[in-house]
Amino acid sequence: MKRTIIAHAVLAFVLAGPTYAEGDLSRANVIDVAIELGSNDDGMYLKPDNYEFVTGQAYKLVLTNVDEIKHELALNEMGERIFTRKIEIADEKGELVAEIKGNIREVEVGPGKTVEWFIVPVQTTEEPVEITCEIPGHLEAGMRASVMIK
Ligand SMILES: [Cu+2]
């Protein structure tokens, strides 16, 4: 996953060349990052369990809960280092249900549902920080992933 993100970033740069997004970093060359929330025989997980972001780059976190119970993504310390542009929720037909804007740190995703979280990291991390599911028992069951912002 890390390799994919970097490859996309490089490709985006090559395609974009020296042009700029008319000053709006939050909408330029958005990179999709799939985050799966679920459980298996080994416990519960965030997949992949390792992410690398770059400040100033716009990302769309595609949170997909593949489980039969609800899960959440809590950004914890990462939440202080990003700007949230919006969160998008669509219905089964892909039609927009809601667009949520503002400072958001945690998103709960219903069973079998997907939420799109548009962010721009604005501050680097000195060491990896942890994103987690804060529903009681889930972190202990393994729902954590490591994030670096460079
Ligand atoms: Cu969970």
Cα–ligand 1 centroid distance for 98 (angstroms): 23
Tokens coding 10 = 């490089």
* Contact indicator for 130, 142 with CB cutoff of 8 Å: no
Residue-level pLDDT at 73: 98
Kindly report the average pLDDT of the chain as a whole number: 88
Cα–ligand 1 centroid distance for 139 (angstroms): 7
Quick one: pLDDT band at residue 10, thresholds 50, 70, 90?
very low
Look at residue 147 and tell me whether its pLDDT is greater than 70.
yes
Cα–ligand 1 centroid distance for 89 (angstroms): 19
Cα–ligand 1 centroid distance for 123 (angstroms): 27
Q: How many CB atoms lie within 10 A of CB 21?
A: 12
**Architecture per CATH, 2-149:** Sandwich (2.60)
Strand partners, 34: 62
Look at residue 15 and tell me whether its pLDDT is greater than 90.
no
List phi, psi (to 5°) of 39.
-145, 155
Cα–ligand 1 centroid distance for 91 (angstroms): 22
Cα–ligand 1 centroid distance for 138 (angstroms): 5
Look at residue 6 and tell me whether its pLDDT is greater than 90.
no
Look at residue 131 and tell me whether its pLDDT is greater than 90.
yes
Cα–ligand 1 centroid distance for 19 (angstroms): 41
Q: What is the DSSP string of 28-66?
A: SSPEEEEEEEEEETTEEEEESSEEEE-TT--EEEEEEE-
Look at residue 146 and tell me whether its pLDDT is greater than 70.
yes
Cα–ligand 1 centroid distance for 143 (angstroms): 6
Instruction: Write the pLDDT tens digit of every residue in 48-62.
Output: 999 999 999 999 999
